[in-house]
Chains A and B, each alone.
Chain A
């Protein structure tokens, strides 16, 4: 399936058509992998007893699986809401550079603030990868509509996956139900490994993972905060000053 056929760029293709082509563009392997991880998130929702309606709302509104897992997992573990909000906020930081780097590609020739905000809402890891792959083939006029279509397509598929996972957990035999719960951590692990390039990335992964279990019973439910800010800061400092001294 080729969602962007070689039609000469022209103004005659309406925004609706670009929107629909964007939706069709969502039907690719990265989109299907994303849906599978949201099936896993649905299983997690069921596992911690989070209401399904609010869980689906989190897929549509938050649209960032790490933040959703922190939210649902944190509440499931009984962490206070301000601590959860802080951890969610910290996890969302990585969206900023993604939006910044993707915006010139999504914006189109006549930028409108509302369209930019809507396009930016859909930016997450899979969307970032797919937009970088697909948008250069779309003429600039069609890009905002194509982006919104692509994001809508991925969101609709993922919301369906979330509901599917929630109700599937009941029907699955034991080993498969557990396998569903592994989907989230394994896909995050692989994404971390895939995105890690510099020593600071590997240090941050190692320190974050090592501090997290040690800090589990830290007062105030701030364990993710300590592992994230503490581990990340330590990794940053070691990468910046430690290696320089060593060489």
Chain B
């Protein structure tokens, strides 16, 4: 962690652990894009894994946070996200409306409980 704590060390980590493993897919898309069957079995599996991974990231941020979100009770975090989905579906599938609804519920809850 001390190595990552410095700007230079962290920049190296960003390049080696963040940039390269991520950019490889864009490069492969350019080089082999014309030969890849987007709806092939392999791609279907790959998309399912990517979706599950993103859902796992969200669940981890919400259910087992390691920062300031810990101060809020679990039910409030879940209620805010549920409200966000409701806002998104209710207001003609607008991403902005969903985000604003979730934030309104969270801020009201945090203010009411006077935490944060």
Contact = CB atoms under 8 A, between A and B. Distances in A.
Interface of A: 29-30, 33, 36, 44, 47-51, 53-55, 57-58, 61-62, 64, 66-71, 73, 75-78, 81, 84-101, 103, 113, 116-117, 120-121, 123, 173-179, 181-196, 200-201, 203-213, 216, 223-224, 227-233, 235-236, 239-240
Interface in B34-69: 36, 38, 43-69
Given A51-B6, A120-B29, A216-B64, A66 B13 contact: no
Contacts of A120: 26-27, 29-30
A70 B96 contact: no
B85 A193 contact: yes
Interface residues of B, number: 76
B19 A62 contact: yes
B56 A227 contact: yes
Contacts of A88: 17-18, 21-22
Could you say which of A47, A67, A101, A196 has the most chain B C-beta atoms within 10 Å of its C-beta? A67
A208 B55 contact: yes
A45 B65 CA distance: 13
B115 A205 contact: no
A133 to B, nearest CB: 14
A123 B50 contact: no
A interface majority secondary structure: helix
Contacts of B69: 178, 181-182
Interface in B1-38: 1, 4-7, 10-11, 13-19, 21-30, 33, 36, 38
Contacts of B110: 174-175, 178-179
A227 B52 contact: yes
B67 A44 contact: yes
